[in-house]
Structure 1
Amino acid sequence: MPTAVTSTTDVLNYAHSLLTSHRELLTNVRNSQRAHRRQLRAIATAPNDLVNFPIIDSPAPSPLPSPPSSPQLAHRTRPQRPDLPPAKRARVARYANYVPEEETIRNDYSQRYVDSGEWPQNRVLGAEPSRRFEEYPKQQRLLGLKKESVDAHATPPFFLPFSHLSSLHPQKFDVILLDPPFSSSFSWDDLQALPVPSLAADPSFVFMWVGSGAGEGLERGREVLAKWGYRRCEDVVWVKTNNTTNRGPGTDPPTTSLLTRTKQHCLMGIRGTVRRSTDSWFVHCNVDTDVIIWEGDPADPMRKPPEMYTLIENFCLGTRRLELFGRARSSLRRGWGSMRGLRRVMAVHSWNKDAWEEATRHLASLAGGKAVVPNSQEIDALRPKSPMRPGNSGVSGGVGVGVGISGGVGVGSAGVGMNAGNMNADPNMNMQLSRRPPSQNQMMVSPMMGMGMPMDMGMGMGNMMGMGMGNMGMMGMGNMGVMGIGDMPGRYIPMGRGW
């Protein structure tokens, strides 16, 4: 092991030089002490307490540098550990006290921020959209297919001065994105006065940036959404990084908040009724996450992440998209209209009502009459579906038997039951039931379980709708035939099971 021997020799030489320098320093100190004591003795009244103070003891002589002995070499060449990765095997061979089973590496990102000014989110791996799903080929394929579909079914981009906002009426938009330019001349009251309700379709979505959360943005943003007739349903967060803008510890802009603000909030509101399990023609849920990690634009500090456009397009399939207060350099995007606070815009992308309506009608003809991005079988197979709770079986069949106290028997034919657990798990079940024919709805809302019945109808048989409730039996509903005697009251006893 020539490398290990050479390294050990260098360390010993360095240690010997340090000891030699230390010995020379002590020698100079002792000589200085002797000289001062001779001067003290020359004084007429010598301070005996100082004269009798002991001199610093001389250290033992430093050992001469020598190559490591055979035991040391044997210690450094202890048996290898083939079960360890190469880095740990090297540490085992080099360090005598190294125990690989006890090694623990902890990244103290808070302390790193204190020492270097780097925000912890700088260390998030795969934050870029191009690398986010490298280990998930199906998700990567889904995003690729959706991008191709969105690009192929997009209207030409247009710009329009903000002063001409009223000229968009009576057009309706499926998505409205806002980045309000709050200042001394534009307040929350000015934002609330915008004619957003008249521009919004039903159903539609609003995405509104409301700031870092240090002020009243989150509260006022919810109030504005409610005034416009929207319900807040999500909150998208942009987490900023400072890989390229870090200027060292203590250089973050001063704020009045308790914590360092490194994020921005975008409230998402919904108008109308949209259900994830039945309205896949309009929304695709779970395709993206609600966290965006992006450095920001040094040339435009107020610019928001471009990934927000992709998130909206992946989620809402509506092709009528409008952005209010768009940026001059970055808002030109196919499928989007942008309202800017400029008096003049580029003529080639200015608003043309007839051309936009024609493009919208053409896209609607490709999607069966609706202004949406058409879905494909492959996209539908890859996209995440609504979660189903375990033990819910959906639709089930059942058979019920009615037994009278006086011995009468009523038998209902096998019917269709709905698992009650599934109804609790899926809040959209009420909507699905409301779409049934009126005769079926009437039967579904007339359950009879353990109810007293007059049994003077003789003997009969009828049809029965059953509702399965796991393994707890059934509720009989509808027309049930029973057999009774006289005026004896009867009771329907559930004896079936739902499958």
Structure 2
Amino acid sequence: MYPERAKPKSGAENGRKKRNNSLKPATQPHTNDYTQHYVHTNILPQRFVKNSENQVEGYPNLQKLFRLKEKHVARHATTPYGCRINIDEMVPTLNSWIHNDKLIFDVVMIGCLTDNQFIYPLLTSLPIDRLISKPGFLFIWGSAQKINELTKLLQNDTWAKKFRKSEELVFIPVDKSSPFYPGLDNDDQALFEKMQWHCWMCITGTVRRATDGHLIHCNVDTDLTIESDGSQNSAIPAHLYKIAENFSTATRRLHIIPARTGTETPVRVRPGWVIMSPDVILNNFDSVRYQEDINKVGTHLPMKNEIETLRPKSPVQKKPM
């Protein structure tokens, strides 16, 4: 007996087979491999993020919300104040503000995108519990190399009782030529470079996003910011301030910069903020005048219905039947 020969398939069956094969996914799908592109060109992947200049591009409601928030914050901002002072005089000056001038702030930012700042020694001696109100908000910026120091600080029993870490924000420079590139410190032979900046956003007191819309506007900004061309003319990109302004409705804001930044990256004043720095351009802070400004604008931004309608909110929980 001879084995039966396979019958030749008809043209229709061959056509079905070809069509079925065409539906199979490719074994090696095409991808945008910017990691491999960096190996060949030395151009970092963040250069190719399309919406780094405008993070809400393509979202008309969020764009409108950002414009309304910016105008609302500017309308209720104090005169821009600068306090030019040496780093070793910062703590005594702050103590004087607290005890003699009875000053208190709702939003305090510490640090900038400069790697030579003395954040840890300053924070351990700062009268932070009397400087910030309850509820209040603290933003601490540091390079990736200083994460361990800041984590150790926030895990300290004294700090853990005062502040609760709520969010972590990240800022990424576009390349090594950026004025915000932190460098490798003492580890010049590292295979992976830690070039990002981190911000710990901490809360003192109790704030609930579902019920305290008069104090905070959550979920307005993204947690990740990539350097844009407009952020290179100052030691502190404007978006760092906008994150705090968009999050908290408080108008009493203080920024402490414990570092020398020099003339190439100037520290500019900003409406609604008191900026303490050795190199701040303007030195005009007066506690009496500042308190008069606060009395005029109020300690918090007034509610605006259009902003409340547009801003993201926590979902309303249904009451049990």
> Any idea what the Cα deviations from partners look like across 1:138-163, whole Å, max 9, x if unmatched?
11111110100000000001111342
Aligned equivalents of 2:104, 2:145: Cα separation in 1:
31
Aligned equivalents of 1:204, 1:125: Cα separation in 2:
35
Between the aligned residues of both structures, percent identity stands at 30
Shift of 1:111: 1.1
Say if 2:52 and 2:228, in contact at 8 Å, map to a contact too: no
Inter-CA distance 187–252: structure 2 relative to 1 (3 Å threshold)? closer
Aligned equivalents of 1:323, 1:211: Cα separation in 2:
17
Aligned equivalents of 2:175, 2:281: Cα separation in 1:
33
Inter-CA distance 152–110: structure 2 relative to 1 (3 Å threshold)? same
Shift of 1:118: 1.2
Inter-CA distance 350–231: structure 2 relative to 1 (3 Å threshold)? same
Q: Quote the residue 1:360 is aligned against.
A: 294
> Any idea what the Cα deviations from partners look like across 1:290-340, whole Å, max 9, x if unmatched?
11111587777xx34321101110110000000001767233000000111
**Amino acid in the other structure paired with 2:61:** K
Say if 1:210 and 1:221, in contact at 8 Å, map to a contact too: no
Q: Quote the residue 2:130 is aligned against.
A: 198
Residue in structure 1 matching 2:306, options 371, 378, 386: 378
Aligned equivalents of 1:321, 1:339: Cα separation in 2:
11
Q: Quote the residue 1:89 is aligned against.
A: none
TM-score by length of 2: 0.76
Inter-CA distance 282–215: structure 2 relative to 1 (3 Å threshold)? closer
Shift of 1:190: 3.7
Residue in structure 2 matching 1:239, options 164, 172, 182: 172
Q: Quote the residue 2:62 is aligned against.
A: 139
Inter-CA distance 256–244: structure 2 relative to 1 (3 Å threshold)? closer
Inter-CA distance 274–118: structure 2 relative to 1 (3 Å threshold)? same
**Amino acid in the other structure paired with 1:236:** L
**Amino acid in the other structure paired with 1:291:** L
TM-score by length of 1: 0.50
> Any idea what the Cα deviations from partners look like across 1:260-297, whole Å, max 9, x if unmatched?
21311111110001111111111000000111111587
**Amino acid in the other structure paired with 2:67:** G
Aligned residues: 276
Q: Quote the residue 1:165 is aligned against.
A: 94
The secondary structure found in structure 2 opposite 1:216 is helix
Q: Gaps (5+ residues) in structure 2?
A: 1-22
Inter-CA distance 187–387: structure 2 relative to 1 (3 Å threshold)? closer
**Amino acid in the other structure paired with 2:274:** G
Q: Gaps (5+ residues) in structure 1?
A: 1-98, 246-250, 365-370, 395-418, 420-467, 469-499
Residue in structure 1 matching 2:34, options 91, 109, 123: 109
Aligned equivalents of 1:341, 1:119: Cα separation in 2:
33
Question: Counterparts in 2 of 1:52-451, with a 5 A limit?
Answer: 104-128=29-53, 131-162=54-85, 163=89, 164-169=93-98, 170-179=102-111, 186=118, 188-213=120-145, 216-223=148-155, 226=159, 229-242=162-175, 255=188, 257=190, 259-294=192-227, 303-325=235-257, 329-341=266-278, 346=282, 349-364=283-298, 371-388=299-316, 393-394=318-319, 419=320
Shift of 1:182: 7.0
User: Is the radius of gyration larger for structure 1 or structure 2?
Assistant: 1
Say if 2:209 and 2:216, in contact at 8 Å, map to a contact too: yes
